[in-house]
Every structure is written in C-alpha cells, then in structure tokens.
Copies of this chain bind each other. A is one copy, B any other.
Amino acid sequence: MFAKNAWYVAATPDEVDAKPLGRTICGEKIVFYRGPEGRVAALEDWCPHRGAPLSLGRVVEGRLVCGYHGLEMGCDGKTVAMPGQRVRGFPPVRSFPVIEKSGFIWVWTGDAAQASEDQLPELHWADNKEWAFGGGLYHIACDYRLMIDNLMDLTHETYVHTTSIGQPEIDETPCKTTIDGDHAVTSRFMNGIQAPPFWRMALRANGLPDDQPVDRWQICRFSPPSQVHIEVGVALAGRGGYDAPKQDKAYSIVVDFLTPETETTMWYFWGMARNFRPDDKALTAQIREGQGKIFAEDLQMLECQQANLSKWAGRDVLKLNIDAGGVQARKVIERLVAAERSTLSV
C-alpha cells in the first residue's frame, strides 16, 4: 500500500549521467535520463516500437535513443524520430513528472495533473554551505512501511546497533509521539548518560571531550508519503541539551527517503546531514561509512520480518507506545491512499 500522488526520491543525480537508468518506483517501470540541457526526464521504460526497455538505450543530444532499433523518444513520451519512419502516429508512452532538487531526483508516480513542485519537501540543509550531507542507497526486500516503523521506534538501536548507537537508556527512557497534521513526531530525551561509540566519535570531531556525561536526543519526524527525518545529537550534560549552544554539542539529521519499489520491496535512500565541519570531506566519508554499516544491520531483520509477515499474512502485531510513531504514519498513508481512491471513483 502506497500513495501514488506523491513525490518519491527515485535516484541520486550521479545515478543518471550519460546513460539512462531503469528503476521501478511504486510498481512503475521507469527510465530516467537527462534530456535537453541536462534536465532529468522520466518515462515508462517501454519503447512503443517493439516493447524493448528504453533504459538499454543511450542519450543523444537530449533524446533517448532506443538501443534496439533507434527510435528517438522525447521527454514528453512522444516519439521524435526513427530512421526511415514517419512517427507521428506512434503511440506515446507515459511521461512522469520529475524534478532534480536538493541533491535528489524526485518522481511523481500518480496523476501528473496533480503534481506541483510546491509539494516537494523543503530540505533546509540542502544547498546550504553550513551543512554537509553524505548518504547511500540500499535495496531491501520489505514493505517500505516496515522501515518507517523501524525509524520511528529507535528502541531497536539497543538491540540491532549494539556497537555503535545503541544503549540501554533508549529503552529505559519513554518516548512521546505527537501528531501535526500529516506529520508524526516521536521524540526521546536522555539526560546525563554516557555517549555510545558513534557519538563519542562525533564529539571528538566537534573538538569536544568524549568521556563526559551528555544529554542525548532523538526527534523522529515522519512526513508523507514516506520520509523520516531524525534530529539526533548529544550535548555536554547540562548545557541545554537539544537547545545547547552549537559549540557544546554534536548535532545531525538522519535523512531517510523510503521509496516503494513493489508492495514488498523498497529503495532505501539514507544519509546524514550535519552542521559541524561541513567542509571536512574526510569526515563526511567517515560518517557515511559508519552509517552505512549501521543501516546495513537493519536489512536482515527487516527482510526476515517481511518473510514472517508474508507467511503469517493477517496475523496481528502489537501497537505499543513505542510503536505510536509508525502506527500514526501508517494512518496518514492509509488516509492518502483512501483519498486517491475516492477521487478515482468519482
């Protein structure tokens, strides 16, 4: 279950270079490529001539040339030319709204008439010199909503990420979930604790001591259709925690774009934005590598959880207080999907 009238992260800009990229998003087989002036285009990955995937073709002067028999496709899904053929009557292929912004390529998989750039999320840290971002992409064989659950309930860190960001205090400290329109926010504040290894590294990177008590926070924010941004950080204890002055804390945003591929597989665009030492590319690479290892720890669990849920389809799971963030997020998604369906039936 996923909303289709929504912007999803489909790729990072470097994935769509001189060659086209074929990728399935929300069940749609799409080819992404750079049309005139390098602008990204997204079309059904189908050549109207004989059904070959256009993603096996190449781009010539902004036109996507089918790699089988040379049909030239335009960004609007209309055939531009084909050697020796009149192409005016060729059936068009579907063109998807697509935007490159904030370091990602976003695609709208539903009704194109409803797409507008306004609906793209504002990422204040993107294209901002005071911030640095590093991230990656994993393919996971699970319903993307299992990843929403995962990211909205960070008690799993204690068990899944034991050597990096997990610590018993996460479990021991109650979290609080609030609703803000279509957004759900689950937050937890742990004061006067020891920082776990990842955060000790971050403290050192900020020029702060790593052996003193800290105040730690986690503020997980779900936004539709399937984004989770988590404000995370530690401050030296008693300096104000989340609100401590910049020089007393290490602060980041965990950035998660969860893009459905099919009902039971997903693309996981993960990353971290930070506002300390933004020009330190070695630090960006180091954080990215550490985060990549941490997030890889979730993969087996989520894929096995999905296998269990598929085997025992319909079996109830619990909705505890720690699950409130995921539960609320799912309600938002169900509302969006229901709204799409009612529009269709009118």
Contact = CB atoms under 8 A, between A and B. Distances in A.
Interface in A135-175: 149, 153, 155-156, 158-160, 168, 171-172, 174
Given A84-B172, A317-B50, A318-B90, A159 B305 contact: no
30 contacts: A29-B308, A29-B311, A45-B308, A46-B312, A48-B317, A49-B317, A49-B318, A49-B320, A50-B149, A50-B317, A52-B304, A52-B308, A53-B304, A53-B307, A53-B308, A56-B301, A57-B159, A65-B159, A68-B156, A68-B301, A68-B305, A69-B322, A70-B171, A83-B155, A83-B158, A83-B171, A84-B155, A84-B322, A85-B320, A91-B316
A181 interface: no
Interface of A: 29, 45-46, 48-53, 56-57, 65-70, 82-85, 90-91, 149, 153, 155-156, 158-160, 168, 171-172, 174, 300-301, 304-305, 307-309, 311-312, 315-318, 320-323
Q: Is the interface of A mostly helix, strand, loop or mixed?
A: loop
Contacts of A317: 48-51
Contacts of A323: 50
Contacts of A304: 52-53, 56
Contacts of A49: 317-318, 320
A69 B159 contact: yes
A236 B39 CA distance: 46
Nearest to A153: B69
A155 B149 CA distance: 51
B46 A301 contact: no
Nearest to A46: B308
A174 B84 CA distance: 7
Contact of A51 (B56, B172, B305): B305
Given A67-B301, A309-B51, A315 B46 contact: yes
Contacts of A50: 149, 305, 317-318, 323
Nearest to A83: B171
Contact of A300 (B56, B57, B322): B56
A66 to B, nearest CB: 7
Contacts of A300: 56
Contacts of A301: 52, 56, 67-68
Contacts of A85: 320-322
A67 B155 CA distance: 11
A154 B199 CA distance: 61
A279 B30 CA distance: 51
Contacts of A159: 57, 65-70
A312 B93 CA distance: 12
A26 to B, nearest CB: 14
A230 B155 CA distance: 53
A308 B51 CA distance: 6
